[in-house]
Structure 1
Amino acid sequence: MRGVADSLMMHSWLVLGFVAAVAGYDYTTVPGLNHDTWWGPEGKEEDTSIRPFQIKWEKAMIDDLVYRLENRREFVPSMDDTAYHYGVNTHTIGYWLDYWARDYNFTAREAYVNKHPQFITNMQGLDVHFVRIVPEVPEGKRKIPLLLLHGFPGSFLEFHEAIDHLIAGVADKDFVFEIVAPSLIGFGYSDYTNKQGLGGAEMAVIFKKLMNRLGHDKFFVQGGDWGAHIADIMVVFFQEEIIGMHTNLGMALTDKAFSMISMGSLYPEALMPNDLIGRLYPLKDTLQWLMREFGYFHFQATKPDTIGICVTDTPSGMFAWFAQLISMASRRANYDDPRGGLDLYTPEQLIDNAMIYWAPNKASSAMRIYAETVNWRNYDMGFINEPSSVPIVVVQAPDEIYYMPPAALNTKYTNLVAVDVLSEGGHFLAYEMPEQFAKLVISAVERILNHKQCDKSEL
């Protein structure tokens, strides 16, 4: 029987939304983690070739999708003046569903999602999809491999516009980027497994192997949402191989960090500047907000296949489920907006992303990352308090889902190079502000390289 302390700690992680399995000091011997697990069908051999890939949306799929959208059942009307208090407002959600059925240009958008070169390779039995931009390297410059990891309910498209800015933004630098942006396992055009146990830690191993296969023994990693969690694991497992990490969701899930934050309620000024105290304290308000908005997290972490049926069978249901999460994580004030603040994004942005789930039928399998990571198997690995010495730059947007002061971050990241505090932006930073996101990444890479005093032989 679990002790009361352990139970309370586990509940706290569930509330905060990011639990466990953040790495051990020797990834080859972490209990419960086999970095050679075969996740694909038995009897199939790993195809290590790098195969060009393009997304193709078949007419039969599009016709079926449009039919489902046009013939959706009438929604029960939202109550008066509830905005997004009860979730998606049924008086306003029809705008995007009608746009998807009648105004969305499937041909043009298919071309758009294919604008960057894409590839497939097989990793441990699963085909992994990724965008890869291989630059020309002018004389006097060095190539920086950069792994970009998305989250849920996002996709590799989170970085689609930011990639252009990342490429253009280094024109006057002494380096160029080779960019690799995969679909997480079970997301988009990456395969899912029918075997239990493939969570964030296992994905960290797979994506490290992917970068090695592409010829990179050392590389940078950037992540938000689940991408941040996977990056967190990578910088502990592979401290000699990750040159640096950039994250727009800096989270230290250590006992010391949570103790520090709890004690900080008594004297917040000891942890952070006065103008940032409201991002975390009163702690009661932060926890109430998390409890109110994170019901989806508990459901996906315990019963992903149930909600998976709902979002797989109806595009209206899938879009509504995603819209609620995007609304909540973009701006806290969206709670009081009848349109959920979704006008922050274009209809094409929202629908393009939805298509990356709908067309390959990956909404249900993508949700399983919650159940495969938020569990006692990962908790019992016991390495959540393991620090990382990898140089790290953290970005903190005002409407991020959780704020963590630098002193708490230092309990995990012992080489915290900088914390960039923004005056605008939310959880989906690369999607919402691609140009500024790219500038932040470029600046972080420069500072980390200077901090490490890297020479060309390291890359």
Structure 2
Amino acid sequence: MAKKPTNKTQSESKAKGNNTKKSSSSGNIGKLLFVFAILGGLLAFYVYKLVTTPPETPKYDLEQWWGPYPKDQTIDVSIRPFKIEFSDVIVNDLRERLMHRRPFVEPLEDAGFTYGFNSKFLGQVLHYWQNKYNFKDRENFFNKFDQYITNIQGLDIHYLHVKPKVSDSVEVVPLLMLHGWPGSVREFYELIPKLITPQSGHNFVFEIIAPSLPGFGYSQGPARKEFGPLETAVVMSNLMKRIGHKHYYIQGGDAGHTVGSTIATLFPEQVLGFHTNLPINTGRVATALLFVGSLWPSTIVENRLQSRMYPLSEHIPKLLEETGYLHIQATKPDTIGIALTDSPAGLAAYILEKFSSWTNLAFKNATDGRLLEKYQLTHLLDNVMLYWASNSITTSVRIYAEAFSKRTMAMRLDDIPTEVPTWGIKFKHELMFYSDCLLKLKYKNYLHSTMVEEGGHFAAFEMPHVMAKDIFEAVKTFREFHNSQKTSPLEARGQTVKETQTKTIYDFTVKDLNGKQIKLEKYKGHVVLIVNVASQCGLTDTNYKELNILYEKYAERGLRILAFPCNQFGGQEPGSPEEIFQFTKDRGVKFDIFEKVNVNGENTHPLWNFLKTSQAGFITDFIKWNFSKFLVDRNGVPVERFAPTVSPLELEEYLDKYL
């Protein structure tokens, strides 16, 4: 007969059951936490990659037509001399409008410029413009520099072209100078003479090309939408080609910075160096770090400069207060354009108010905005006259609608790095300040920042002597940079005499991803395309896809593609050989992948030294970025070199030539 369990035994059994349930429940929670940790890690990695992976370089059309339709089939593309004219019709109409303007509303007591342009002071400005501004004298002043107009992509583009008169011992280098809004080429008139005059310690001077941006002054505005910074950059690049300059330096501020930066991004092979007086980077990573820095400023900016960036609680409200115009111009440019086109008083107030507060925010507390403390009234009105006489205020403000459109913002131009050597000058009262570490995310060869303890947004106009000195120093440094990057004699790199006498790629041995030695003589009789590749570059997807297409199309005719991973450009090939192999396998790569190498610097692989010296690059022969391409003929001789921005499918005409 079975024994009936005691109460003690029942209690122990029940407790054991409860403990088993608790243990099982804890185990399930642990598993869930582990799964969530894995998912969180994957999500964080995805977000990191999404933020840090540069976008592909946007597509652009070098010949896109921006003029009115129907398109004239006999467009005059000659370079035509031009002179600015303030005709009697323009002057008389302006004076009539100024004479018959309505009385202004009185400003608030002690408001200064805090509510905008002070109407009492505006009366003095307009009286001077109407009665004392010497239109004929200023017309002659504007025409003291040679000016031209030429049609680029359907738009008549106006530009100053000033050539220095120097001895043959002084080198002349081209400088493209780009203004912003509400400025114009007038900002450069005091600066130009300093740039075309030899300076102590420098064996070069500048040939100045200073265009009015499309839609500004006497440069025609586009007839259609979607003419943003990228399209402006293409027009400026084509202008320099039209003039005859394949390589040049750029200086820009405000919109001129944006356009100059875009040229350096799209056409790095053309730009010898980029000097900016508005060094900013609005890319995703830079913006994120800017806000992170508000918690730990010392991680982003030097202690002595922290007040220029932080606290954000002080800087952001000031920036918002000064950018109300931007929202109007980015959304309804034609509305404000109509108002300012019809009223010279309104135009003067709208433009000159910026020359007060953007020179120094403290100036807006004064009744006269302290405008005449930094500028002459005649000079300020010169700038306004360019807008009035050319009737260009509407077309000029449209640049904001295009720059801040969804289309342009999606290009993420500030997230695409450039190797062009860059130099910034930072004035104390500029509206925005970015530390060098943020700038280097965009400008991989950001060489220097000049700190100026005064000055504001219109630096070329306000402090031409400081700007001239800094531009000379920047270009001197750019030239030294290029010289340092030039391939020195092969012997200086420890290579043997035999290597200096190499004639073909067949003399070299490389390693594949498994570390196996491969003699390139195995490719004898083939046309070979050699490329430095990376897995995390903005150019990666397009290049791998098109290289595959080329290989599949031309392999039977004798094409071989040799890809060499390289981690020297933005750290975009960090993986191990196994990871690189898996990456290429996932993309169905059929051509040959080799061991990771250096293509620049002291440890450059001998093959790449040979390629660079056989087919020199733009100015210097160093490799500028991922996906530089060398085409080698059937005899093993490098015959063509292509920039990273040249897509593989664009090489088909060359392949047809050599295959």
Deviation of 1:292 (Å): 1.1
> How many angstroms apart in 1 are the aligned matches of 2:399 and 2:199?
34
Q: 2:152 is matched with which residue?
A: 123
> How many angstroms apart in 1 are the aligned matches of 2:201 and 2:125?
41
**Deviations, residues 269-289 of structure 1 (Å, cap 9, x unaligned):** 222222211111111111101
Q: 1:267 is matched with which residue?
A: 296
Match for residue 65 of structure 2 among 32, 38, 55: 38
In the alignment, is the contact (CA less than 8 A) between 1:329 and 1:427 conserved in 2?
Answer: yes
Q: 2:349 is matched with which residue?
A: 320
- Looking at both structures, which has the greater relative contact order when contacts are Cα pairs under 8 Å and sequence separation is at least 6? 1
- Greater CA drift, 224-233 or 378-387: 378-387
Q: 2:404 is matched with which residue?
A: 374
Matched, 1:412 2:442: yes
In the alignment, is the contact (CA less than 8 A) between 2:112 and 2:369 conserved in 1?
Answer: yes
- Greater CA drift, 346-355 or 264-273: 264-273
Matched, 1:390 2:417: no
Instruction: Provide the secondary structure at the position in 2 that maps to 1:197.
Output: coil
CA distance 1:25–1:146, change in 2 (3 Å): farther
> How many angstroms apart in 2 are the aligned matches of 1:167 and 1:377?
39
> How many angstroms apart in 2 are the aligned matches of 1:136 and 1:109?
24
> How many angstroms apart in 2 are the aligned matches of 1:70 and 1:449?
54
> How many angstroms apart in 2 are the aligned matches of 1:417 and 1:122?
36
Deviation of 1:435 (Å): 1.6
Structure 1 consecutive aligned stretches of length 4 or more whose deviation exceeds 4 Å: 23-26
In the alignment, is the contact (CA less than 8 A) between 1:169 and 1:439 conserved in 2?
Answer: no
- Greater CA drift, 338-347 or 299-308: 338-347
Deviation of 1:169 (Å): 4.2
Paired residues for 1:298-309 under 5 Å? 298-309=327-338
In the alignment, residue 449 of structure 2 is paired with which amino acid?
V
Deviation of 1:84 (Å): 1.3
Deviation of 1:319 (Å): 0.4
> How many angstroms apart in 2 are the aligned matches of 1:91 and 1:134?
43
In the alignment, residue 341 of structure 2 is paired with which amino acid?
T
TM-score (norm 2): 0.64
In the alignment, is the contact (CA less than 8 A) between 1:88 and 1:320 conserved in 2?
Answer: yes
In the alignment, is the contact (CA less than 8 A) between 1:331 and 1:341 conserved in 2?
Answer: no
> How many angstroms apart in 1 are the aligned matches of 2:338 and 2:126?
19
> How many angstroms apart in 2 are the aligned matches of 1:382 and 1:279?
25
Paired residues for 1:6-405 under 5 Å? 26=57, 30-31=58-59, 33-41=60-68, 42-44=70-72, 45-136=74-165, 138-170=167-199, 173-343=202-372, 344-405=374-435
Instruction: Provide the secondary structure at the position in 1 that maps to 2:148.
Output: strand
**Deviations, residues 383-441 of structure 1 (Å, cap 9, x unaligned):** 44111110000000011110001111111111011000101110000000112111111
What is the Cα-based RMSD across aligned positions, in Å?
A: 1.7
In the alignment, is the contact (CA less than 8 A) between 1:48 and 1:123 conserved in 2?
Answer: yes
In the alignment, is the contact (CA less than 8 A) between 1:228 and 1:247 conserved in 2?
Answer: yes
In the alignment, residue 195 of structure 1 is paired with which amino acid?
R
> How many angstroms apart in 1 are the aligned matches of 2:315 and 2:382?
32
Q: 1:5 is matched with which residue?
A: none
- Greater CA drift, 57-66 or 264-273: 264-273
**Deviations, residues 320-353 of structure 1 (Å, cap 9, x unaligned):** 0101222221101022121112112101111000
**Deviations, residues 131-176 of structure 1 (Å, cap 9, x unaligned):** 0012346333332110000001110011111000111244762222
Instruction: Provide the secondary structure at the position in 1 that maps to 2:130.
Output: helix
Instruction: Provide the secondary structure at the position in 2 that maps to 1:57.
Output: coil
> How many angstroms apart in 1 are the aligned matches of 2:219 and 2:158?
5
TM-score (norm 1): 0.91
In the alignment, is the contact (CA less than 8 A) between 1:250 and 1:395 conserved in 2?
Answer: yes
- Greater CA drift, 376-385 or 149-158: 376-385
> How many angstroms apart in 2 are the aligned matches of 1:281 and 1:382?
25
> How many angstroms apart in 2 are the aligned matches of 1:108 and 1:432?
22
> How many angstroms apart in 2 are the aligned matches of 1:384 and 1:104?
42
Q: 1:447 is matched with which residue?
A: 477
Deviation of 1:379 (Å): 1.7
Deviation of 1:293 (Å): 1.3
> How many angstroms apart in 2 are the aligned matches of 1:302 and 1:156?
26
The higher radius of gyration belongs to 2
Match for residue 463 of structure 2 among 412, 425, 433: 433
- Identity, in percent, stands at 39
> How many angstroms apart in 1 are the aligned matches of 2:276 and 2:384?
24
> How many angstroms apart in 2 are the aligned matches of 1:165 and 1:139?
19
Unmatched tracts of structure 1, length 5 or more: 1-22
Would you say how many aligned residue pairs link Structure 1 and Structure 2? 432
In the alignment, residue 453 of structure 1 is paired with which amino acid?
N
In the alignment, is the contact (CA less than 8 A) between 1:169 and 1:438 conserved in 2?
Answer: no
> How many angstroms apart in 1 are the aligned matches of 2:232 and 2:370?
32
In the alignment, is the contact (CA less than 8 A) between 1:169 and 1:442 conserved in 2?
Answer: no
Instruction: Provide the secondary structure at the position in 2 that maps to 1:55.
Output: coil
> How many angstroms apart in 2 are the aligned matches of 1:438 and 1:137?
18
In the alignment, is the contact (CA less than 8 A) between 2:278 and 2:425 conserved in 1?
Answer: yes
- Greater CA drift, 34-43 or 400-409: 34-43
Instruction: Provide the secondary structure at the position in 2 that maps to 1:76.
Output: coil
**Deviations, residues 104-138 of structure 1 (Å, cap 9, x unaligned):** 01111111111110001000011000000123463
> How many angstroms apart in 2 are the aligned matches of 1:43 and 1:209?
19
> How many angstroms apart in 2 are the aligned matches of 1:333 and 1:365?
31
CA distance 1:169–1:436, change in 2 (3 Å): farther
> How many angstroms apart in 1 are the aligned matches of 2:309 and 2:338?
36
Unmatched tracts of structure 2, length 5 or more: 1-53, 487-617, 621-659
CA distance 1:264–1:328, change in 2 (3 Å): same
- Greater CA drift, 376-385 or 283-292: 376-385
> How many angstroms apart in 2 are the aligned matches of 1:167 and 1:157?
17
Instruction: Provide the secondary structure at the position in 2 that maps to 1:330.
Output: coil
In the alignment, is the contact (CA less than 8 A) between 2:112 and 2:365 conserved in 1?
Answer: yes
> How many angstroms apart in 1 are the aligned matches of 2:412 and 2:299?
30
In the alignment, is the contact (CA less than 8 A) between 2:300 and 2:435 conserved in 1?
Answer: yes
In the alignment, is the contact (CA less than 8 A) between 1:146 and 1:178 conserved in 2?
Answer: yes
Deviation of 1:380 (Å): 2.2
